[in-house]
Structures are given as C-alpha cells and as structure tokens.
Amino acid sequence: YSPLFFVFSYLDGRCLKGLYGRYSLRLHFEPYYDGRPNAEGYIVRYHGNYLMQQVVSMELIDLLASNYAINLKVTGEQDSDAQSVEQVVKHESAQSVEEEKLDQAGYGYELAHIKA
C-alpha cells in the first residue's frame, strides 16, 4: 500500500482580472483502475465543492500498487453579464495609465493559455 495525493487546478480571475472570459469553471475527477472505467473500477468520484472551484485535491492513504487512470472533467457555466476578454482589454487600455502593468497581464495571459 502507498499513499497518493491528487491536485488539479486551472487559471482563475484573481491574477488575470477579467481575462478569464465569460465562463465559470468547475473541476471534477474520477481515478479508477486502468482498463476498468465502469462503476466497479472507480476508486472514488470527486465532484469538487463550491468553495474551492479553482483547485480540487484528494488524498488516498491505502492504495494498492497498480496501474490507474483518471477521468478529468471541466464543466463551464456561461455568465452572459461578464465582459469578453476583448472588452476587458479595450476598457483597461483606455483607462490605464500603467501600460506596463497591462502588458504584463496580457503576457501572463498568453503564457498561461499556451501552457494550458
């Protein structure tokens, strides 16, 4: 037996201030024994909680040595009142006296989405 700890996360709006778009996302994951993606093969089903939407984690203390797979699911809910990324950039560039800060946020957004 051996312990295993899962952590999955995605970008959120705390750093990118509106550049995450019009969707709020939720993470779900289901580790299972490899080759048995059915009800009897699942170890646990984790559907996140409403307080921790950007990160899901779980610790499994007594896990047998074997091959495992993980179903990872991201569900999105559209917020039609939220501004699009393009609208946020236009607004911030018109309002901002700190062009360098906007450039840094835009560069960070591009890097994050290249890696994602």
Report residue 83: phi and psi, to 5°: -80, 150
The per-residue pLDDT for 47 is: 59
Confidence of residue 99 (pLDDT cuts 50, 70, 90): confident
Per-residue b/e over 8-36, b at no fewer than 16 CB within 10 Å? beebeeeebebbbbeeeebbebbbbbeee
Compute CA distances 4 → 1, 35, 40, 61, 74, whole Å.
10, 19, 20, 6, 22
pLDDT at site 17: 56
The tens digit of pLDDT for each residue in 8-55 reads 766 555 555 555 567 777 777 778 888 777 767 777 766 555 555 566
What average pLDDT does the segment 91-106 reach?
72
pTM beyond 0.85: the answer is: no
Determine the Cα angle at 44 with ends 4 and 72, to 5°.
80
> What percentage of the chain reaches a pLDDT higher than 90?
0
At 50 the pLDDT is: 55
